[in-house]
Amino acid sequence: MLGNFKYSNPTKLYFGGDSLNNLKEELAGYGKNVQLVYGGGSIKKNGIYDQVVAVLKECGKEIFEDGGVMPNPTVEKLAEGCQIARDNQVDFILAVGGGSVCDYSKAVSVSAYCEDDPWEKYYIRFEDVTCKTIPVGCVLTMVGTGSEMNGGAVITNHKQKLKIGHVFGDNVFPKFSILNPKFTYSLPKYQMVSGCFDIMSHILEQYFSGEDDNTSDYIAEGLLRSLITSSKAAVKNPEDYEARSNIMWTATWALNTLIAMGKTTDWEVHMLGQAVGAHTDATHGMTLSAVSIPYYKYIMADGLQKFKRYAVNVWNVNPAGKTDEQIALEGLDCMESYMKEIGLVMNISEFGVTKDMIESVADSTLVMEGGYRVLTHEDIVNVLTASLS
């Protein structure tokens, strides 16, 4: 384990088929005015909206609806949500949905009373919160981002062709999150497997860094093996409770800061994927899947021993009679086969990215320094070009 660190996670979780029963108790601790945040309206079709609203009304809450949160929440939508919060003196924000809804809710929390331009303050200058914030709670209906137990909030600025995440501190973490695996059953396969790869990518971003014998890496390997098994089962039977519950729990632990402890972390796959997303509005997990194999093959030689370990410990590659490079490549081949098996997008051309767009996407890609290689602009262009097909 590297360095000195502090670990804290203030989010309370309620997990299981009856977890919504705890919402009433939690709401009692907050004021009357509740901003109810949700996405495109699927929660009204599957009955989750009615269940949540019934609890809010039973608790005597005044509900101010903030629907229509898109998969990649925009600065314009953020401004709209902040206006709702201020105009109605909202005491609490309840996010009912997936990662985008949770991210957006946290962004509204820190932006509603921000005296500066929130985009400039949080997403360009990456400054800390200095204003009043509104507490947030989550009822999760789609898994993948881990936003239900962290301080992350990703916002897209189409005019600037940027999609950027800000990881806020403990004070912005959801106060509680309700995780009912059954709420994820009705999710279309495309969204489900996209979420599964978002989980995998979160783990790998933290795994592919460092040379030390780190406890966090052992945890990461276990999470990956569970995810691979459960995602295959969920593709075959979307209402396999055991599989869906394992995926939901893995998603939370993949990005609640635990496995980042005592490590450097990479996050370049996310920077590449978010740049693609800023140009195409493509589903987040799929943008990650489309760039991952080209990126990992590009940096493999720089972290060869970890890629070898990944192949053996996660994909059960037999190392006998093989060079370290052959073992590592076989592991990535196994990963690629798995990705194709569950139906992930494997190239950015499917989102409409063309060769002529590569320079612009590269210009929108932030460079991270925690992984095995710090990419130059030329490196980014090479990875994106390899991701076209």
Q: How many CA atoms within 13 Å lie on the side-chain side of 311?
A: 27
Residue 6, Cα to own-chain centre: how many angstroms? 22
In a domain, 3, yes or no: no
Task: Specify the pLDDT at position 210.
Answer: 93
Confidence of residue 215 (pLDDT cuts 50, 70, 90): very high
In a domain, 197, yes or no: yes
Q: Examine the domain organization and report whether 335 and 211 are in the same domain.
A: yes
* In contact, 85 and 93? CB cutoff 8 Å: yes
Q: Examine the domain organization and report whether 201 and 162 are in the same domain.
A: no
In a domain, 326, yes or no: yes
Return the bridge partners of 140, or none.
Answer: 97, 179
Task: Specify the pLDDT at position 2.
Answer: 82
User: For 84-98, what is the mean pLDDT?
Assistant: 98
Q: Examine the domain organization and report whether 382 and 280 are in the same domain.
A: yes
How many structural domains does the chain have? Answer: 2
In a domain, 356, yes or no: yes
Rounded distance between C-alpha atoms, residue 389 and residue 382, angstroms: 12
Number of C-beta neighbours around residue 133 at 10 A: 19
3-31, pLDDT tens digit by residue?
Answer: 899 999 999 999 999 999 999 999 999 99
111: tokens are 């932006």
Q: Examine the domain organization and report whether 172 and 198 are in the same domain.
A: no
Q: Would you mind telling me the total number of residues written for the chain in this entry?
A: 389
115: tokens are 């005296």
Task: Specify the pLDDT at position 67.
Answer: 97
Task: Specify the pLDDT at position 3.
Answer: 82
3-state DSSP assignment of residue 102: helix
Return the bridge partners of 156, or none.
Answer: 74, 163
Task: Specify the pLDDT at position 126.
Answer: 96
Q: Which residue blocks in the chain are alpha helix, DSSP H?
A: 23-27, 42-45, 48-58, 75-87, 99-111, 118, 189-207, 215-236, 241-254, 268-280, 284-299, 304-315, 324-342, 358-363, 377-386
Gyration radius from the chain CA atoms:
20
pTM: 0.95
Q: Examine the domain organization and report whether 316 and 267 are in the same domain.
A: yes
Rounded distance between C-alpha atoms, residue 338 and residue 344, angstroms: 9
Angle at 272 between CA 344 and CA 311, to 5 degrees: 55
Burial class of residue 3 (count of CB atoms within 10 Å of its CB; 0-12, 13-18, 19+): exposed
**Domain final residue pick, 131, 160, 183:** 183
Q: Examine the domain organization and report whether 125 and 87 are in the same domain.
A: yes
The CATH number assigned to the domain holding 227 equals 1.20.1090.10
Confidence of residue 1 (pLDDT cuts 50, 70, 90): confident
Q: What is the largest CA-CA distance in the chain?
A: 69
User: For 89-111, what is the mean pLDDT?
Assistant: 97
Q: Examine the domain organization and report whether 121 and 205 are in the same domain.
A: no
Task: Specify the pLDDT at position 132.
Answer: 97
Residues 6+ apart with CB under 8 A from 56: 27, 34, 36, 63, 94
Q: Examine the domain organization and report whether 242 and 95 are in the same domain.
A: no
Checking if the pLDDT of 70 tops 90, the result is yes
According to DSSP, residue 74 is labeled B
341-365, pLDDT tens digit by residue?
Answer: 999 999 999 999 999 999 999 999 9
Residue 375 phi/psi, 5° resolution? -75, 140
3-state DSSP assignment of residue 153: strand
The CATH number assigned to the domain holding 153 equals 3.40.50.1970
Rounded distance between C-alpha atoms, residue 368 and residue 267, angstroms: 7
146: tokens are 């881990």
Q: Examine the domain organization and report whether 304 and 379 are in the same domain.
A: yes
**Domain final residue pick, 151, 183, 215:** 183
How confident is the prediction for the chain on average, in pLDDT? 97
Task: Specify the pLDDT at position 36.
Answer: 98
381: tokens are 């262009």
In a domain, 291, yes or no: yes
Q: Examine the domain organization and report whether 252 and 321 are in the same domain.
A: yes
In DSSP notation, 13-66 reads EEESTTGGGGHHHHHTTS-SEEEEE-SSSHHHHSSHHHHHHHHHHHTTPEEEEE
Q: Examine the domain organization and report whether 64 and 80 are in the same domain.
A: yes
In a domain, 2, yes or no: no
- Of 216, 209, 251, the residue nearest 230 (C-alpha): 251
What's the domain range around 59?
12-183
- Of 9, 67, 251, 237, the residue nearest 142 (C-alpha): 251
In a domain, 1, yes or no: no
Q: Examine the domain organization and report whether 76 and 221 are in the same domain.
A: no
153-183, pLDDT tens digit by residue?
Answer: 999 999 999 999 999 999 999 999 999 999 9
Task: Specify the pLDDT at position 312.
Answer: 98
In a domain, 241, yes or no: yes
Residue in this structure with the two tokens 């095995």, named with its chain if needed = 372
**Domain final residue pick, 183, 201, 225:** 183
Residue in this structure with the two tokens 């592919």, named with its chain if needed = 208
